[in-house]
Amino acid sequence: MNFVALKMLTGDVAKYLGLIFAIAFSTFLLENQTSIFAGILKRTGSQILDVTDAEIWVMDPKTEYFEQTKALKDTDVTRVGGVDGVQWAVKLFKGGPVVRTLEGRFAGSFCLGLDDATLTGVPHKMLLGSWERLREPDGIVIDKAGYDLLFPGEPLQLDRTLELNDHRATIVGISDASAPFLSWPVIHTRYSQAVNFVGHERTQLSYVLVHPRSGVDAKELCARIETQTGLRARTTDQFKWDCIRYYLKNTGIPVNFGITITIALIVGTVVAGQTFYLFTVENLKQFGALKAVGVTNWRLIGMILLQAFSVGSIGFSLGTGIAAAFFEITLRMPATRGLILMWQTVALTGACIFLVVILASILSLRRVLVLEPAVVFRG
C-alpha cells in the first residue's frame, strides 16, 4: 500500500513538484529571515561579547544599551574598585570619531579606548600585528571589515596612517572583531589616545569594566555595586540582552522581519495545504476503489500521512539546503559576516512546516474517511 500511495503522489508531476517547491520556498524564507533577524539582534551586543576579560559592566544609571552612554567621573573607577568582592576595575571609553585615509576616504567608527596599563577589553581575535603594539604612540588596531572599507581591494598592511578628527593614527594591528550593528570600522586603542581622538570634554569615562574575585557571584556583586555606588551594574550576558530588548522595543526591525516571516507562513500554510488538499480530493475515486477492495480506514490514514510527510520532508530538506548555501556564500562578505543559519531556526521551521503538513492531512483525511466505496462506480 505504501508503494501505491507514493505512485498516486507522483502521478501528477506538476502538482507533486508544486507541493515540494511551495514547502521549499516557505522553508527557505522562514530559515533565512529568522536567522538574519537573530544575527542582527546579536550584533547589537557584539562589542560587549568581545570583552572576555571582564564579567561586569558599570555605567550611568540611565544607560539602556551599549550605544547610549553618559560619561562617568574618573573617581567612579576607584569607588567601584573599592566594593567588596571586586578583584579589579578598569576604564573603558567608547566614542565615534570620523576616521579618514590620506587619500580622503572616510567613515564613522566605533572607537574603544582600553585601559592604558592592562589593555583590558581586547577581543583576542588578531589577524595581523600585535595588541602589545597599542602601547606605541598613536597606535590603533582596526578590524578587517573596517580596513576593507577604507582601503577597498588593497592587501592587509600594517603601519598605514589614518586621521581621526585631525589626529594622526598608525595601524599597528588588524583584528577580526565581531561585526557591529552598523557597518562601521571598529577601532581599539589606549584610553588616553581615544580621548584625544574624540576631543576633550569635562568627563570622558564611558564604562567601568569589573572582574569579581574568585568565588564571588557576578550577579550578587552587581547588586552590591549598585547599592554602594548608585551606578548601574550588569553582567556581560545581562547587558547583551538589554541591547537586544532595546532594539526590539524601539526600532522597526521586529515589524519588518515579522511581516516577511508571516508571509512565509501564509505561503506554506495556504499554498502547500490547499494543493495537498486538492490533490487528495482529486484522488477520491482511487481511495474509494481501495475501500471497495477492503482496505481499512487506518491503512488509508497511513497512506495519506506517508504522502504528506514525503512531500514535507523533501520540501523542507530542499529549502534548508538552499538556506545553508545562501549563508555559506554570504558568510564572509563584509556586510553579512557572522550571520549564520542557526540550528534553532532550522528546528523551529521544521516544526512549523510539519504542523502545516499535519493540518492539511487532517482536512484531507476527513473527506476520505466519510467516503462511500460506491463512489468508484459512479460516472
Asked if pLDDT for residue 363 goes beyond 70, the answer is yes
Residue 2: the pLDDT is 62
Which tops the pLDDT comparison, 23 or 300? 23
How does DSSP classify residue 189?
E
- Residue 298 within a domain: yes
Which tops the pLDDT comparison, 118 or 303? 118
Please check whether residues 225 and 110 belong to one and the same domain.
Answer: yes
Indicate the average pLDDT of the chain: 84
Least confident of 83-97, 215-229, 343-357: 343-357
State the average pLDDT over residues 113-130: 87
Identify the helix (H) or strand (E) that includes residue 60: none
Please check whether residues 135 and 266 belong to one and the same domain.
Answer: no
The answer to whether the CB of 35 falls within 8 A of the CB of 323 is yes
Please check whether residues 111 and 204 belong to one and the same domain.
Answer: yes
Asked if pLDDT for residue 360 goes beyond 80, the answer is no
Least confident of 132-136, 278-282, 370-374: 370-374
- Residue 176 within a domain: yes
Residue 372: the pLDDT is 63
Which tops the pLDDT comparison, 369 or 61? 61
Please check whether residues 260 and 340 belong to one and the same domain.
Answer: yes
- Residue 373 confidence class, pLDDT cut points 50, 70, 90: low
Owning domain of residue 85: 73-230
Please check whether residues 137 and 205 belong to one and the same domain.
Answer: yes
φ and ψ at residue 208, rounded to 5 degrees: -115, 120
Please check whether residues 259 and 226 belong to one and the same domain.
Answer: no
Please check whether residues 86 and 210 belong to one and the same domain.
Answer: yes
Please check whether residues 261 and 119 belong to one and the same domain.
Answer: no
Please name the amino acid found at residue 292. Answer: A
Q: Tell me which of 196, 230, 264 is where a domain ends.
A: 230
Asked if pLDDT for residue 189 goes beyond 70, the answer is yes
- Residue 56 confidence class, pLDDT cut points 50, 70, 90: very high
- How many Cα atoms occupy the beta-carbon half-sphere of 5 within 13 Å? 16
- Residue 322 within a domain: yes
Please check whether residues 100 and 203 belong to one and the same domain.
Answer: yes
- Residue 160 within a domain: yes
φ and ψ at residue 232, rounded to 5 degrees: -95, 130
User: Of all residues in the chain, what percent carry a pLDDT higher than 90?
Assistant: 31
State the average pLDDT over residues 188-207: 81
Please check whether residues 160 and 269 belong to one and the same domain.
Answer: no
Report the domain count for the chain.
2
Please name the amino acid found at residue 164. Answer: L
Q: Residue 371 and residue 367: Cα distance in Å, rounded? A: 6
Residue 161: the pLDDT is 92
Identify which of 142, 136, 131 has the alpha carbon closest to the alpha carbon of residue 175.
142
